[in-house]
Amino acid sequence: MSITRKWAAKQQRALEILIRLQRLYPDATCTLNYETPVQLLVATILSAQCTDERVNKVTPALFARFPDAPAIASADIQDLESLVRSTGFYRNKAKNIQGACRAIVEKFGGKVPKRMEELLELPGVARKTANVVLAHAYGIHQGVTVDTHVKRLSYRLGLTEETDPIRVERDLIRLLPQPDWENWSIRLIYHGRSICMARNPNCSSCALADLCPSASEPQRHS
DNA sequence: ATCCCGAGGG
DNA sequence: CCCTCTGGAT
Task: Report the pLDDT value the prediction gives residue A4, as an integer from 0 to 100.
Answer: 81
Tell me: do A165 and A186 sit in the same domain: yes
Q: What's the CATH code of the domain at A54?
A: 1.10.340.30
pLDDT tens-digit profile of A170-180? 999 999 999 99
**Has residue A109 been placed in a domain?**
yes
Task: Report the pLDDT value the prediction gives residue A222, as an integer from 0 to 100.
Answer: 41
**Has residue A63 been placed in a domain?**
yes
**Domain termination site, one of A88, A118, A138:** A138
Tell me: do A154 and A130 sit in the same domain: no
**Has residue A104 been placed in a domain?**
yes
pLDDT tens-digit profile of A31-83? 999 999 999 999 999 999 999 999 999 999 999 999 999 999 999 999 999 99
**Has residue A204 been placed in a domain?**
yes
Tell me: do A15 and A54 sit in the same domain: no
Number of domains in chain A: 2
DSSP A191: H
CB A156 within 8 A of CB A200: no
**Has residue A221 been placed in a domain?**
no
Q: Is the CB of A193 under 7 A from strand B?
A: yes
Range of the domain at A182: 3-28+146-211
**Domain termination site, one of A138, A173, A202:** A138
A101 carries a ligand binding annotation: no
**Has residue A217 been placed in a domain?**
no
- Choosing from A128, A151, A171, A180, the catalytic residue is A128
Q: What's the CATH code of the domain at A21?
A: 1.10.1670.10
**Has residue A219 been placed in a domain?**
no
Task: Report the pLDDT value the prediction gives residue A216, as an integer from 0 to 100.
Answer: 65
Tell me: do A51 and A124 sit in the same domain: yes
| B chain positions with any atom within 7 Å of a protein CB | 2-8
Task: Report the pLDDT value the prediction gives residue A1, as an integer from 0 to 100.
Answer: 67
Tell me: do A64 and A14 sit in the same domain: no
* Sequence-ordered list of residues with C-beta below 8 angstroms from that of A102, at least 6 positions apart, any chain: A73
- Collect the ranges in chain A with pLDDT lower than 70: 1, 216-222
What count of other Cβ atoms lies within 10 Å of the Cβ of residue A51? 12
Exposed, middle or buried by CB within 10 Å (0-12, 13-18, 19+), for A222?
exposed
Tell me: do A59 and A130 sit in the same domain: yes
Residue type, A21: L
- Give strand letter and number of the nucleotide nearest A45 (CA to C1'): B6
**Domain termination site, one of A105, A138, A171:** A138
Task: Report the pLDDT value the prediction gives residue A15, as an integer from 0 to 100.
Answer: 96
| C chain positions with any atom within 7 Å of a protein CB | 1, 5-9
Task: Report the pLDDT value the prediction gives residue A217, as an integer from 0 to 100.
Answer: 55
Element (H, E) at A112: none
**Has residue A220 been placed in a domain?**
no
Tell me: do A104 and A194 sit in the same domain: no
This prediction's pTM = 0.92
Q: How many residues does chain A have?
A: 222
